Amino acid sequence: GQQVMQIPQYQHVQEGEDFTTYCNSSTTLSNIQWYKQRPGGHPVFLIQLVKSGEVKKQKRLTFQFGEAKKNSSLHITATQTTDVGTYFCSTGTASKLTFGTGTRLQVTL
Partner 1 sequence: NAGVMQNPRHLVRRRGQEARLRCSPMKGHSHVYWYRQLPEEGLKFMVYLQKENIIDESGMPKERFSAEFPKEGPSILRIQQVVRGDSAAYFCASSREGQVFGEQYFGPGTRLTVT
Q: Which residues bind partner 1 (CB under 8 A)?
A: 31, 33, 41-45, 48, 88, 90-92, 95-102
Shortest CB 91 distance to partner 1, Å? 8
Closest distance of CB 31 from partner 1, Å: 6
**Contact yes or no for 21/32 (Cβ under 8 A):** no
CB of 41 to partner 1, least distance (A): 8
38 vs 78, beta carbon nearer partner 1: 38
Label residues 28-64 b or e (16+ Cβ within 10 Å = b).
ebebbbbbbeeeeeebeebbebeeeebeeeeeebebb
Closer residue to partner 1 in complex, CB, 42/59: 42
Q: What is the DSSP letter of 83?
A: G
